[in-house]
A and B are shown apart, each in its own frame.
Chain A
Amino acid sequence: MATKVVMAQLSPTMEEGKLIEWKISEGDAVSQGDIVAEIETDKANMDVEAMGAGVLRKIVVQAGATVPVGTLIGIIAEPDEDIESLLSEAAAGPVAGAAEEPADAPVAPSDGPEAPTATDEPAEVAEEPASAAPSAETEPEAEGERVRASPVARKMAAEKGIELGAIAGSGPGGRIVKADIEAAIAAPAAASLATATGGTTAGAIVAEPAAEPLLRDERVEASQMRKAIARRLAESIGPVPHFYLTIEVDMERALDMRSELNARADGFKIGVNDILLKTAAEALVRHPQVNASWDEDAIQFHGRVDLGIAVAVDGGLITPVLRDADRKGLRRISLESADLIERARARKLLPEEYQGATFSLSNLGMFGIDEFTAVINPPEAAILAVGMTQEKPVVEEGELTVRRRMRVTMSCDHRVVDGAIGSAFLATFKEMLENPLAMVL
């Protein structure tokens, strides 16, 4: 029974993928689970795993080519098996995105034969191997986690290219059921990307000038990531009515708190950005109208606070998501965001780790930027752009004094957030940073 190797759709925004290289050659034996190729998606590089055993009979798409999602890229079969029908199908064009299983292997709900496994593959670039079957279903069995979903829900999700990991299940025990997928189709999950203005986090890199700054006339095809950034943010700035609110925050007490906590810390260091994330989360809890999305003729309020952290990576930007940020303490935020940022830079994020944020934070303070305006990541309703904390002359009760101050600019989607609401949120954000104990209330 022949097994197709296909360009799978690994995220809702992915429309095409580039075949970077084949790891095996035509005629090589393949066992189920072997990595056969590496592809570049709009977010990360992924390994393609063989879904069946046999021999790589034909490479249909060569390394270096970019093809639409669903295209047949290779065929694995028995050495003497007839693959004519598949070859002519290859000539015909990309396979439809609908979930399709080999006739002798019906899908059992708990097994999910399309599930990628084996993150313990040594020295692999990407962490999550892409599914080689046409189904875009992801099941992160890697860490022993299993997404619980009904068979109907799985099929619907696979067909629509929805990541099960990004869905909250309303069935028993958090099981994802048909109704949840239907709701997700109605309000699509965000595939978060960093804003066009980029960002870094505390204790991070200052961008270094290129080693050899050659000026040259050269057309370089945009990477998948760059294409996605361009497309998504152009889509954002057009239809989303942005307006901007700026506020200056006195950072003395926040920085004092940070020093104090770090003096007691063991095994982790709390950065300014961690404090900003926590504060933003707490402010969102108190202003849920900002933790929302515009959805055609309705506003979708989100029941969770999932913060996107803008991270500059080699060649672009990505926004990993810190989930349930309001429920985590500074220690956990510090550890988790450090991990997310590190893996973001190594291009090892799982799709569900950069999708589904409800609000984003972008920090260019490390680059010496005083203040800036950021582009909202759709379908979020706002983004907070943070500038450098610096000493400034401040008038306090008629007296001139020097304080460490930080300027923050919030971009708001005027369809969801009006001036008063945005201002109230920012006021709370500032109040909490200036009086950190207020967060405890």
Chain B
Amino acid sequence: MSERYNVVVIGAGPGGYVAAIRAAQLGLKTACVEANGYEGGLGGTCLNWGCIPAKALLESAALAQTLKSQGAEFGVRPVDVEYDMSAAVDRSRAISEKLTKGVGYLFKKNGVESVFGHGRLTAQREVVVDPTEPGGESRILDTRHVIVATGAVMKTFPGFELDGEKVIGSREALELRELPKRLVVVGAGFVGVEFADVFSAFGVDVTVVEALETLVPLEDPEIGKTLARSFKKRGMEIRTGTMVKALERDSSPMVLTVESSKGEERIETDLVLMAVGRQPVTEGLGLEEAGVQVADGFIAIDEYCRTSAETVYAVGDVAGQPMLAHKGSHEGIVAAEHIADANPHPLRYDNIPSVGYCHPEIASIGLSEPEAAEAGHDVKVGKFPLGAHGRALTAGHNEGFIKIVADAKYGEILGVHMIGHNVSELVAEAGVARMLEATLDEVAAHAHAHPSMAEAVMEAALVTLGRAIHV
């Protein structure tokens, strides 16, 4: 049976569901197809098996860790503390479920039709929805436009295939009710270090292995070094500049062989968590038949999220880096507004914040020091350490710093790089400042509330201007 839609969105993650809601708001007849399978239901990976449950577990971990290491100091002395990962997982699942239902409610409210099944394109650019259960009927959605938002899935190395038992990915890690004694986390991007943080807080012996020279290697190197120091203090083992070579999966215990400039090392472990990246889902979607080009694994798009096939758009993890939920959501809005011819504004890809929710938190936006120099700027850097910062001290978490990279000529804020308590919340100021082309002067001139972590951003601006008060 065929019904005509203005837009069919394939995938109901943060890219897809936001695109669908926006399209419906703009008066377009919209349907959103969700395969509801392994990687997520409404809300996609983010709500179900990614951002949301991970942050919930991180909160549990922060509580556990603070209580453990600083409870007495705070005047809350822990006695007979029981760590119950299963309860922590339950809590995270409950939050996911609540938010998933929320997306369903938003769809109803805005008149977006949910279609459950596996969506794919035909040569005529219709969307065929195949049932995920055997015995169901396929449905054809005749539509003027398609937005592909199929996201990405966990990636691994040959020899390290995920078996869900001895070698797991983030999906299983978010439901690890029974904790191993020892865990090796392979890959120290945000996903890897976040899980390392969680499991270490709950008493697991954690080793983090990373091929590049620092933890969180895509961030400012000082951030990775600060994080490594913090992790080591908590008893985690860190192996940077180290590649995984082989895994003796069936031995008891498992042995992971790694190699670094120091030579080979054999690490005994009970579980391996692969956090080496995600790959976009482009298979089985009929992209080739529909004329949608794929480049470097991603669906190729222009600044309005259009693909090479007329009337087909792509947003989110499947459409390119950075693979971040907020980037996907904003692309969803661009695509919907472009389809509706509602004054779309291309996303500013040079101003997307990157945040890690491990403790201490990490947040950055804009250019790094070397990038700024390479772009021809006369670079000025100001770093404000949090060691003596009022709010950080009262919080009991005063590791880290706020670093601003600026152009010396006009004080233009080129980049902000932070590690410390709650810095995930501070990067928004930097983002809006950069969007409005504010300079150091404006940030320094605003009387940020005292005492707050946000104040530290102001202090960093003052440091960059050479007139810091508090350092």
Contact = CB atoms under 8 A, between A and B. Distances in A.
Interface of A: 101, 103, 106-109, 150-153, 155-156, 159, 177-178
Nearest to B437: A150
18 contacts: A101-B441, A103-B467, A106-B442, A106-B444, A106-B445, A107-B445, A108-B442, A109-B438, A109-B442, A150-B437, A151-B436, A151-B441, A152-B410, A155-B411, A155-B439, A159-B409, A159-B410, A178-B412
Interface residues of B, number: 13
A197 B26 CA distance: 58
B437 A178 contact: yes
B119 to A, nearest CB: 36
Nearest to B465: A106
Nearest to A108: B445
Contacts of B411: 155
Which 6 A-B pairs give the minimum distances between C-beta atoms? A150-B437, A152-B437, A155-B410, A106-B445, A106-B441, A151-B439
B441 A107 contact: yes
The CB with the most chain A CB atoms within 10 A, among B409, B410, B444, B445, is that of B410
Nearest to B345: A172
Contacts of B436: 150-151
Nearest to B412: A152
Contacts of A108: 442, 445
Interface string B404-441: 00000111100000000000000000000000111101
A109 B436 CA distance: 10
Nearest to A99: B410
Contacts of A155: 410-411, 439
Given A152-B410, A152-B412, A177 B445 contact: no
Contacts of B439: 151-152, 155
Interface in B439-460: 439, 441-442, 444-445
Contacts of A152: 410, 412, 437-439
A109 B467 CA distance: 20
Nearest to A149: B437
A336 B445 CA distance: 41
A151 to B, nearest CB: 5
B467 A151 contact: no
A239 to B, nearest CB: 31
Contacts of A153: 437
A177 B441 contact: no
B438 A150 contact: yes
Interface string B271-310: 0000000000000000000000000000000000000000
A109 B412 CA distance: 13
Given A151-B436, A159-B409, 19 more contacts: A101-B441, A106-B445, A107-B441, A107-B445, A108-B442, A108-B445, A109-B438, A150-B438, A151-B437, A151-B438, A151-B442, A152-B437, A152-B438, A155-B410, A155-B439, A156-B410, A159-B410, A177-B437, A178-B437
Contacts of B410: 152, 155-156, 159
A153 B411 CA distance: 11
Contacts of A109: 438, 442
B55 to A, nearest CB: 32
B92 to A, nearest CB: 39
Nearest to B411: A155
Contacts of B409: 159
Nearest to A158: B410
A147 to B, nearest CB: 14
A177 B467 CA distance: 27
A150 B436 CA distance: 6
Contacts of B444: 106
A420 B4 CA distance: 53
Contacts of A101: 441
A155 B444 CA distance: 16
A101 B411 CA distance: 13
A167 to B, nearest CB: 14
A109 B410 CA distance: 13
A121 B76 CA distance: 68
Contacts of B412: 152, 178
The CB with the most chain A CB atoms within 10 A, among B410, B412, B437, B439, is that of B437
A153 B442 CA distance: 13
B34 to A, nearest CB: 34
A159 B412 CA distance: 14
A156 B442 CA distance: 15
Contacts of A103: 467
Contacts of B445: 106-108
B148 to A, nearest CB: 29
Contacts of A178: 412, 437
A156 B445 CA distance: 19
A151 B439 CA distance: 6
Nearest to A176: B437
B331 to A, nearest CB: 20
Nearest to A179: B437
Contacts of B467: 103
A177 B348 CA distance: 14
Nearest to B436: A150
The CB with the most chain B CB atoms within 10 A, among A151, A155, A177, is that of A151
A155 B438 CA distance: 10
B444 to A, nearest CB: 6
A141 to B, nearest CB: 19
B422 to A, nearest CB: 26
B198 to A, nearest CB: 41
A155 B412 CA distance: 10
Contacts of A106: 441-442, 444-445
Nearest to A153: B437
A177 B410 CA distance: 13
B88 to A, nearest CB: 44
A101 B467 CA distance: 14
Contacts of A107: 441, 445
The CB with the most chain A CB atoms within 10 A, among B411, B439, B444, is that of B439
A152 B442 CA distance: 10
B345 to A, nearest CB: 9
The CB with the most chain B CB atoms within 10 A, among A101, A106, A107, A178, is that of A106
Contacts of A159: 409-410
B136 to A, nearest CB: 48
Nearest to B439: A151
Interface string B129-169: 00000000000000000000000000000000000000000
Contacts of B441: 101, 106-107, 151
A69 B423 CA distance: 46
Interface string B62-79: 000000000000000000
A177 B434 CA distance: 12
Interface string B380-421: 000000000000000000000000000001111000000000
